[in-house]
Chains A and B, each alone.
Chain A
Amino acid sequence: MELRGEPLLPGTAAGRLLVLTAPLSFWGGVETTSGRIVAAGHPQRGVELAGRLLALPASIGSSSSSSVLLELIRGGRAPAALLLAEVDAILLLGAVVARELGLAAPPALRLPAAALAALPDGAEARLEARLEKGLENGGRLRISAPAARSPRRSPSAGGA
């Protein structure tokens, strides 16, 4: 299965999808040292973001989310890629600044909200985001494993 999306930040990534079922504020909602979701009451609380292709239905725009993402990238606990339904410039700026500081930052892709919500949690996937001028269809997500969508909580990262 292959999906097309709008490339937001360039790069390629491979790993297992982590499809969040509720919005997440990185500031206060993700522990910077472990990359674990700690937001009270979040359905995926306790799951680690490191190495995952993280699909966010919506982010809650704290103005310090960019700092949290930068710290996750510095510590090697960041998601491998970000899949967003809406552009969250504040969050993505953490990746922009990371790249400026010489760190490898996750690519980002925008997908339609319905397509994002229907992604198979836990499936292996590959993402490519290219921003070259004049390039059509620069953003794609290829899902290799069968779309075994299950409501169970996804286990923490490690299989990728």
Chain B
Amino acid sequence: MALDLTAEERAMAAGEAGAGAALALRVLAEAARLLGAERLLPIASAHIDGCLYHGEGGVAFARALRDGGARVAVPATTNVGALDLTCAGTARLDAQTRALAGELMALHLELGCRPTWTCAPYQAGHRPAAGSDVAWGESNAVAFVNSVLGARSNRYGDFLDLACAVAGRAPACGLHLPENRRARVKVDLSALPPALHAEAAFWPVLGAWYGRALGEAVGVIDGAAVRPGEDALKAFGAAAASSGAVALFHVAGVTPEAPDAATALGGRAPERLLRPSPAELLAAYEGLSSVPAQGTVDAVALGSPHLSPAEFRDLARLLAGRRLKVPLYACSGRHAVAEIEAEGLRAELEAAGVRLVVDTCIVVTPVLPAGGGVLMTGSAKFAHYAPGNTGWEVVFGTPADCVESAVAGRVTRAPGAWGGTGGGTGGGAWS
């Protein structure tokens, strides 16, 4: 089973479209060989995660593409970088790292990418059609584009995302192939108490449980009593893609490939049937905190994935004109910030003590004060990555819990409908 390139692809590899395109096609062909793909397939768009600085090697690769005259062949958006280009100084980086991280971001624009700098490109106008093949990076974006938009992508990592964008192709394997998109696991929520379905943090907590339970498997969720909106699906996918390797999920009656559970399962019986209990979801909820949910809060963070304008409006409503005692870092993209600026909301939030983090976020670059502390967050993804990436401890709560805690400077969590004590102890389902 060898990789079979078309005449056009062989010409590209031979340099007929320039040295940069040839480099991209060679890298792509090697990836396809390693993945066991028999051919490449054309893609409609790309979302590039490789613009986040990890070292000089990534800069050298992007320079080689640029020097070889490469341009992206399909619409391509950029994920977060290591710098907030709209507000220099947000990220605490030394001068050399700052220069290289900035060069890497600039190189992506020279290659023709759109400067979206967001992990929620699907809310910044990048919405490929259902059934189209795309090459997206960033785990939450991959989960969203596959599951909520019904486009087809594998999880594309550094270098391969950009190589696909330049070549306009991706290896024909994995989730690009319809037979691999069928659900094998059914998750039945119908026995859960209605109050739990209505919890503000229900979808991110369910996502944290789901990623652990399913890993890489494709599942369909059935029996959701409250129809999840786009921001709930975004939070679910980000949680599931960080606790597991979830790249595609279906929600019966909600997502495009699941008009009902039977269709998502391809008319076959599920290989596994899971019914999470309230106790398991409580464990997932408490497991999102690394320290007990009590005592002082030093900072609050929201926006992984990046906040949408609707989430900013919720934040303003929850604040209700009060001032924050500790900083609340609100991470978002230019697309959303421009919209709330036009509404006058940005000034209102900043006056209350909200600090906007644009183009980047608090777990990919040093934004939080050095020395650590306790971070309260409403993002399951921040809860997953903050302890390892920032050295801060985390307490997870709903957006309302986050605002109350930022106003009080102390952990303030509503007991919720989880059925437990409400006091997170760490470990739990995560240990």
A97 close to B27 (CB less than 8 A): yes
CB-CB nearest in chain A for B52? A64
A63 close to B49 (CB less than 8 A): yes
A93 close to B55 (CB less than 8 A): no
Within 8 A of A (CB), among B128-145: 137-139
A92 close to B34 (CB less than 8 A): yes
Q: Which of B54, B157, B388 contacts A90 (CB 8 A)?
A: B157
The answer to the question of B160 belonging to the interface, with a C-beta cut-off of 8 Å to chain A, is yes
A66 close to B245 (CB less than 8 A): no
Q: How far is the CA of A93 from the CA of B115 in the complex (A)?
A: 25
Q: Is the interface of A mostly helix, strand, loop or mixed?
A: helix
The answer to the question of B199 belonging to the interface, with a C-beta cut-off of 8 Å to chain A, is no
Closest CB-CB distance, A81 to chain B, in whole Å? 16
Within 8 A of B (CB), among A107-146: none
A101 close to B159 (CB less than 8 A): no
Q: Which of A32, A67, A100 contacts B23 (CB 8 A)?
A: A100
The answer to the question of B31 belonging to the interface, with a C-beta cut-off of 8 Å to chain A, is yes
A100 close to B64 (CB less than 8 A): yes
B27 close to A93 (CB less than 8 A): yes
- What are the residues of chain B within 8 A of A101 when measuring CB–CB? 57, 60-61, 64
B58 close to A65 (CB less than 8 A): no
Q: How far is the CA of A118 from the CA of B403 in the complex (A)?
A: 53
Q: Mark A45-64, 1 if CB is under 8 A from B, else 0.
A: 00000000000000001111
Within 8 A of B (CB), among A50-109: 61-68, 70-71, 73-74, 87, 89-90, 92-94, 96-98, 100-101
- What are the residues of chain A within 8 A of B50 when measuring CB–CB? 67
The answer to the question of A8 belonging to the interface, with a C-beta cut-off of 8 Å to chain B, is yes
Q: Which of A68, A87, A96 contacts B54 (CB 8 A)?
A: A68
The answer to the question of B339 belonging to the interface, with a C-beta cut-off of 8 Å to chain A, is no
Q: How far is the CA of A8 from the CA of B50 in the complex (A)?
A: 24
CB-CB nearest in chain B for A75? B55
Closest CB-CB distance, B260 to chain A, in whole Å? 31
Q: How far is the CA of A61 from the CA of B52 in the complex (A)?
A: 17
B57 close to A65 (CB less than 8 A): no
B57 close to A87 (CB less than 8 A): no
Q: How far is the CA of A98 from the CA of B56 in the complex (A)?
A: 12
- What are the residues of chain B within 8 A of A89 when measuring CB–CB? 31, 34-35, 160
Q: How far is the CA of A63 from the CA of B55 in the complex (A)?
A: 15
Q: Mark B290-315, 1 if CB is under 8 A from A, else 0.
A: 00000000000000000000000000
Interface centre among A62, A93, A101 (most CB of B within 10 A): A93
B55 close to A65 (CB less than 8 A): no
The answer to the question of A28 belonging to the interface, with a C-beta cut-off of 8 Å to chain B, is yes
Interface centre among A64, A94, A101 (most CB of B within 10 A): A64
- What are the residues of chain A within 8 A of B138 when measuring CB–CB? 63
B157 close to A70 (CB less than 8 A): no
A66 close to B27 (CB less than 8 A): no
A96 close to B27 (CB less than 8 A): yes
- What are the residues of chain B within 8 A of A100 when measuring CB–CB? 23, 26-27, 61, 64
Q: How far is the CA of A62 from the CA of B30 in the complex (A)?
A: 19
- What are the residues of chain A within 8 A of B23 when measuring CB–CB? 100
B158 close to A71 (CB less than 8 A): no
A93 close to B157 (CB less than 8 A): yes
Q: How far is the CA of A94 from the CA of B34 in the complex (A)?
A: 12
A71 close to B55 (CB less than 8 A): yes
Q: How far is the CA of A18 from the CA of B232 in the complex (A)?
A: 44
CB-CB nearest in chain B for A28? B388
- What are the residues of chain A within 8 A of B26 when measuring CB–CB? 100
Interface centre among A64, A67, A74 (most CB of B within 10 A): A67
Q: Which of B27, B34, B57 contacts A67 (CB 8 A)?
A: B57
CB-CB nearest in chain A for B56? A74
Q: Mark B63-79, 1 if CB is under 8 A from A, else 0.
A: 01000000000000000
**Which residues in B have some Cβ–Cβ distance to A below 8 Å?**
23, 26-27, 30-31, 34-36, 49-50, 52, 54-58, 60-61, 64, 137-139, 155-160, 245, 388-389
Please name 12 further chain A to chain B contacts, defined as beta carbons within 8 Å, in addition to the given A71-B55, A96-B30, A100-B61, sorted by A numbering: A61-B245, A64-B52, A64-B54, A64-B157, A66-B157, A67-B159, A71-B57, A93-B30, A96-B27, A97-B61, A100-B27, A101-B64
Task: Show 11 A/B contacts (Cβ-Cβ < 8 Å), sorted by A.
Answer: A32-B54, A64-B157, A67-B58, A67-B158, A70-B58, A70-B61, A87-B34, A89-B34, A93-B31, A94-B159, A100-B61
**Which residues in A have some Cβ–Cβ distance to B below 8 Å?**
8, 28, 32, 40, 61-68, 70-71, 73-74, 87, 89-90, 92-94, 96-98, 100-101
User: Which 10 pairs between the two chains have the least Cβ-Cβ distance?
Assistant: A63-B157, A70-B57, A67-B54, A71-B55, A90-B157, A89-B34, A96-B30, A67-B158, A89-B35, A66-B158
